[in-house]
Chains A and B, each alone.
Chain A
Amino acid sequence: MLNQVVLLGRLGIELIRDYGKAGQLLFHVIFRLPNFRKGFPLVLQQIYAEGVLSLIIIIVSSLFIGMVVALQGYHTLAKFGASAELGPLVALSVVRELGPVVTGLLFAGRAGSAVTAEIGLMKATEQLSSMEMMAVNPVHRVISPRLWGGFISMPLLTIIFNMTAIYGAYLVGVKWLGLDAGVFWSNMQSSVDFHADLLNGIIKSVVFGFVVAWISVYQGYFAEPTSAGIASATTRTVVYSSLAILGLDFVLTAMMIGGW
C-alpha cells in the first residue's frame, strides 16, 4: 500500500516536472528578442515543411469528408423534405467542428510526429550538442522556428480544409444528387455567421496549432536519445496532441456557445 502511495507521489512529481520543463521551453521561445534577419527564413522553411508538405493529406481528407457529410446529410434531410438545407448543414459542421478538429488531428499525425522525430534524431546524433558547443542556442535555432511554423501553418491548413470540404459537398449535393446550386450556396451564405462560425473555427485552429506544435517540440527536445526513446516520443506526440485537441475542442465549444 505504502509502495503504491510512493509510486503515485513519484508519478505526480514527474508530471509536474514535465509541465515545468515544457513551460520553461515555451518561455524561452516566446520571451526573447526576435531576430528577423535569421529567424524569418527559418520559420518560412518550417511553414513549408509542416504546412505545405501537409497539404496533400489535408486536401484529400477534406474532400472526402465533405463528400461523405453531404451524402449522409442529404439522405437524412430528404426524409424531412429539408434537402435544401444541405449547404448550411455542411458549412456549419465543417467550419465549426470538422475543419479545426480533423485538421488538428491530421496535422499532429503528419507534421507533429515529423517534428518530434527530427528533433529527437538531432539530439541522438549529437547535432543539438554540437550546436550548443558552437555557441548557437538550439532552442532559438531549432525549437523556435518549428513552434512558430506549426502555429502559423495550422490555421492556414484549416482554411484550406474548410474550402475543400465545402467544395466536396458541392460536388456531391449539386453535381451528383441534383440540388440547385443557387439554393445550396445562398442558404449557406445566409446561415453561416462570420464571427460565430467562421472566426470561432479559426480561433480553435489557432489554439490547436499552438498546442500541437508545443507538444511536438517538447517531446522531441526531451526525448530519450535512443531509437526506442524517439519512437515512444513520436507516439506520445500523436496521442497527447489528439487528446488535447479533443479535450480543448469541448472547452472552446462550451465557451463559444456560452458567448465566452
Chain B
Amino acid sequence: MDNNLVEVTNLHFKRNGRPIFNGVDIVIPRGKIVAIMGPSGTGKTTLLRLIGGQLQPASGKIIVAGQDIHQLSLSELYKLRKKMGMLFQSGGLFTHLNVFENVAFPLREHTQLSEKMIRSLVLMKLQMVGLRGARDLMPSELSGGMARRVALARAIALDPALIMYDEPLSGQDPISMGVLIKLIRAINNALGLTSIIVSHDVQETLSIADYVYVISDGKLIGEGMADAITRDPSEKLQQFLHGIPDGPVPFHYPAVNFEQDLMREGE
C-alpha cells in the first residue's frame, strides 16, 4: 500500500485570471496530521477544495488514495468522497435538521443500516465530540465551537480515511480551541485517520501537527516538522510565524506613491 494518502504535484490554479498556486508540491503521509498554513487569501481553503475534487486545477496532478481525483468520473469521485470527511469553516450543518439528524445524514444516505444501528452510531460519534446531550438541539441553538464539533462528528460518521479541517480553530474562544485541538488529535489516533488542517492559528496548529507546509504567494515558503519550521531562517516564514506586520509580505497593498497620490487632482 502506498505510504502517502495524498500527493499534490506541480499544482497550478488560477481564479479570475489571478494565479493562486504556482507549482505547489505537497505530500500527505497516511496516519499523520499535516498542517497547511499561510496568510489569509493564499488559497488554503482552495487547496482543500482541489483535493476534494470540487475545483479543477489549471495544471498539475492530485492523487488521493492512488487515484487522480481530477480524472475520475462523477460516480467514481463520489465513491472516493465517501472515504473523505471535510470540516468546513462555518460547519456547513443543515439548518433544517437537528444535531442527531445532521450526524445521521451521511449514514442514511450511504448505508442500509437499521434505525437502531444508526442511532447507536450517531450517539457514539456525538459521545466522541462530547455532545451526546445536545442531540435534540437545532444548529441555531449551538455556539460556534459546538457547531464545529457536531460537524466533526458528521464528518467522521462514515469512518473516512482522510479528514480535512478548514480553519477549525479560527474565531474560537480558548476553551473551544483547546477542546478542538484535543479532539483532532484524539480522533486521528483513535480512528487511524489522516488529517489535513488548514489554519493560520500558528501556535495551536504547530502543537498538533506532525508535519507543516507554509504557503504564501502561490508557492511553498517552508515545510518540515513543527520544531524545524520555527527555526527556519526564512524571513517570510518568520514574519508569518511571529505575526510581524510588515516585511516580505507588505503591510500596504500595492499602490502608487503616497505623496503623488495626495498631490493628484480629483479624478
Contacts and interface: CB of A to CB of B under 8 A. Distances in A.
A15 interface: no
A136 B104 CA distance: 13
A40 to B, nearest CB: 15
Interface string B209-251: 0000000000000000000000000000000000000000000
B54 interface: yes
A137 B78 contact: yes
A29 to B, nearest CB: 15
Nearest to A121: B95
Contacts of A136: 105-106, 109
A69 B109 CA distance: 51
Nearest to A124: B90
B52 interface: yes
Contacts of B89: 126
A127 B93 contact: yes
A132 B106 CA distance: 11
Interface residues of A, number: 14
A141 B110 CA distance: 13
Interface in B90-119: 90-95, 105-106, 109-110
A235 interface: no
Contact of A135 (B90, B91, B110): B110
Interface in A110-144: 122, 125-127, 129-130, 132-137, 141
A132 B79 contact: no
Nearest to B83: A135
B88 A126 contact: yes
Contact of B92 (A129, A135, A137, A141): A129
Contacts of A127: 92-95
Nearest to B166: A126
B93 A134 contact: no
User: From DSSP, what is the main secondary structure of chain A's interface residues?
Assistant: helix
B193 interface: no
A126 B54 contact: no
Contacts of B105: 134, 136
Contact of B78 (A122, A130, A135): A135
B47 interface: no
B104 to A, nearest CB: 12
Contacts of B91: 126
A106 B143 CA distance: 38
Contact of A132 (B54, B85, B94, B158): B54
A94 B55 CA distance: 50
Interface residues of B, number: 26
Nearest to A137: B78
B132 interface: no
Nearest to B157: A134
B54 A135 contact: no
B109 A134 contact: yes
Contact of A129 (B54, B84, B85): B54
B92 A125 contact: yes
A158 to B, nearest CB: 28
Contacts of B86: 130, 133
Interface in B144-178: 151, 154, 158
Interface string A76-93: 000000000000000000
Interface in A27-41: 38
B88 A135 contact: no
A122 B90 CA distance: 11
B84 A126 contact: no
B52 A125 contact: no
Contacts of A126: 88-92
Contacts of B30: none
B81 interface: yes
Given A126-B89, A129-B54, A130-B88, A135 B82 contact: yes
A141 B154 CA distance: 17
B171 to A, nearest CB: 15
Interface string A132-164: 111111000100000000000000000000000
Q: Rank and list the top 6 A-B pairs by shortest CB-CB distance, nearest first.
A: A130-B92, A126-B92, A135-B81, A135-B78, A133-B86, A126-B88
9 contacts: A125-B95, A126-B91, A129-B88, A130-B93, A130-B151, A133-B54, A133-B81, A134-B109, A135-B78
Given A127-B94, A137-B78, 8 more contacts: A125-B95, A126-B89, A127-B92, A130-B86, A130-B93, A133-B54, A135-B106, A141-B109
Interface of B: 49, 52, 54, 74, 78-79, 81-82, 84-86, 88-95, 105-106, 109-110, 151, 154, 158
